[in-house]
Structure 1
Amino acid sequence: MLGWIIYNGNLKSDKIYELVEWLQNTAKDYDIEMIPVKNSDILFYFDNESVPQLKHMSETTLPDFVISWDKDIPLARHFELMNIKVYNHAEGIHACDNKVLMTKFLAGHGISVPKTVIAPMVFSNCQITEFTIYDQIIEMLGFPMIIKEAYGSFGAQVYMVNDRLELLETVKSIGNKPHLFQEYIKSSHGKDIRLNVVGDKVITSMMRVSESDFRANITNGGKAKAYTPTPEEEALAIKCSQLLNLDFSGVDLLFGDKGPVLCEINGNPHFKSIYECTGIDVSKDIIEYIIRDMS
């Protein structure tokens, strides 16, 4: 089989390309040719008969499948229109990329999430001038409060606010970008669980702990240690991944007072940290899953 690994050509990140090469090398161990492809090297279009077409700047043979290690949703959808299997599929990428959509969808299917309020939409050419609703949000959620922008990775664009002034300053700085407000889960301050799911199985998991930040992300200084999830935590992670029809995912759970609570789910989870923590190489499970799925 021939596969392409799509990554963003304009995102100059050694961290991303390291994972792309990692998947490429793992695929080679299974006699699969995987070609790293920048999304910026692809023209995708419709011809005069409305047939979806694709042109790569140098590759002439189309892949049997694609691993989308990017968030270029229109490109992923175009591959699907051409009947080329994409891992993860476009709608799954779309849902995971937007924390507002992800939270609404999963909460709507009975997944336990922190108490959440979706921010009112603001047009790009408008300034926020109506503030009454924020007093209602304060009454509902109290302080400290968590504010999350819809788009962001590695714990960035996630803020803790401690009073009304901080809340309004944060809202003004976010502006017209979609965001949400969530209750602060005190029992999970500075700690969470990352579970890597492939298919319908939790492959490995780790606990992340930060002594200096309410966020446990390793990028923000958190430390990881191997963790054995409870059956309830495993079941929740698998259900979240299945509801979004994901082939593989990284599910982050918080320690709620009454059991695990979903923090977020990642459609292209970074697996280097969890490998360094547990010694388990999730890329092998991803490639083996693709082989089974394509056969």
Structure 2
Amino acid sequence: MVQAVKCLIVYGRGLDINDRQLYLACRELIGKPMLARASNLSSAIRGGKANIWHGSRELTDVDLCFLRSLGTGSLEQVLCRVGVLECMKSCGTFMVNGALEMLLAKNKFLSLCRLTLEGFPAPDTYLTESANWAYRMCQDLGRQVYKPLLGSMGFGSQLFRNVDEAYTLYHRLEELGIPIHVQRYVEKRRDLRIFVIDGEVAAAMERVPRAGEWRANVSQGGWVKPFRAEGELRELAIRAVEKLNLFYAGVDLLEVDEAPLLLEVNASPHWQGVQEASGVNIAQTLVKAALRHLKK
């Protein structure tokens, strides 16, 4: 049944397949949602009130906003969008997910630091702008992975056998002014993505890399298998999402012999792979959960 909810979907440069599925789910369950590119949002504070615009159109009384991306741009541009979206949240809109929470989760090192200090197990991870510091600190890592600090889907990640092999890249990154974000490579039994929505596991999958490839990301040619998240893995994923104050997220875990390790929490995850593996309609599940939350 269509419910009287004013809904907005905020996207980056353009709508991807996940955004389009979310749009269709909203149209079916709520009514036609509004669409807004993050860079086209504006806000004003005047007369003791705050107002939000998309282009020349004022957005009033938005009940529910699905924030899928903050878009690309300079630091100031991204912070501008965060400011506008947080203003919308302050005006009473329920954000899925919040802009500040998304910004925190997007910083892989900062979010992993927060979770590690809360007791979550994670691989040894280093962040610096100095190639020499990275060389000294990563001597004992052996196989190590360089990951772009704000990357996704495995793009730009590189595996090295040792720090000497990696040093040329680290030195070049320093020259270019790009942070050096390094993580110990871990041999695992399973590479897992657990999809959490509103405190519950909605779906999960095991990711298997294609032959000759170390990355298991679907975007890198990996394939998916159904997986049932239970026990410690289930609780670890749910708690990680809760600690980062996210309504939904994709939690990446490695199942190793000793104990599971947390890799990252994605606050704007793609869900095609987990949807294929589980048979769960993620977009509809997400919209239904958001509507239940609005009723509380």
TM-score range, shorter chain: 0.7 to 0.9
Aligned to 1:114: 123
Gaps of 5+ in 1: 123-127
Alignment of 1:186 with 2:190, yes or no, is no
Q: Aligned equivalents of 2:199 and 2:193: distance in 1?
A: 16
Q: Which amino acid aligns with 1:55?
A: W
Aligned to 1:35: 34
Q: Identify the range of structure 1 (267-276 vs 156-165) with the bigger mean alpha-carbon deviation.
A: 156-165
The 8 Å contact of residues 100 and 179 in structure 1, kept in 2 or not, is answered as no
The 8 Å contact of residues 206 and 224 in structure 2, kept in 1 or not, is answered as yes
Q: Aligned equivalents of 1:257 and 1:74: distance in 2?
A: 44
Aligned to 1:279: 279
Aligned to 2:8: 4
Q: Which amino acid aligns with 2:85?
A: A
The 8 Å contact of residues 144 and 163 in structure 2, kept in 1 or not, is answered as no
The 8 Å contact of residues 139 and 163 in structure 2, kept in 1 or not, is answered as no
Gaps of 5+ in 2: 71-80
SS at match of 1:80: helix
Q: CA deviation at 1:219?
A: 0.5
Q: CA deviation at 1:170?
A: 1.9
Q: CA deviation at 1:159?
A: 1.9
Q: Which amino acid aligns with 1:94?
A: L
The 8 Å contact of residues 197 and 241 in structure 1, kept in 2 or not, is answered as yes
Q: Aligned equivalents of 1:51 and 1:166: distance in 2?
A: 57
SS at match of 1:276: helix
The 8 Å contact of residues 116 and 183 in structure 1, kept in 2 or not, is answered as yes
The 8 Å contact of residues 9 and 66 in structure 2, kept in 1 or not, is answered as yes
TM-score (norm 1): 0.86
Alignment CA distance shift 1:61-1:226 (3 Å): same
Deviations 1:46-88 (A, max 9, x none): 34x5743322225444221211001353332232233322111
The 8 Å contact of residues 21 and 36 in structure 1, kept in 2 or not, is answered as no
Deviations 1:188-225 (A, max 9, x none): 5xx51111100111111110101322211010010111
Aligned to 2:148: 149
Q: Aligned equivalents of 1:166 and 1:45: distance in 2?
A: 52
The 8 Å contact of residues 126 and 134 in structure 2, kept in 1 or not, is answered as no
Deviations 1:113-168 (A, max 9, x none): 0022232xx4xxxxx5x61x334323332x21112221011112322122334322
Q: Aligned equivalents of 1:57 and 1:118: distance in 2?
A: 38
Aligned to 2:251: 251
The 8 Å contact of residues 193 and 207 in structure 1, kept in 2 or not, is answered as yes
Q: Percent identity?
A: 22
Q: Identify the range of structure 1 (249-258 vs 68-77) with the bigger mean alpha-carbon deviation.
A: 68-77
Q: Aligned equivalents of 1:180 and 1:109: distance in 2?
A: 21
SS at match of 2:33: strand
Aligned to 1:125: none
CA RMSD, Structure 1 to Structure 2 (Å): 2.0
The total of aligned residue pairs comes to 277
SS at match of 1:259: coil
Q: Aligned equivalents of 1:61 and 1:53: distance in 2?
A: 7
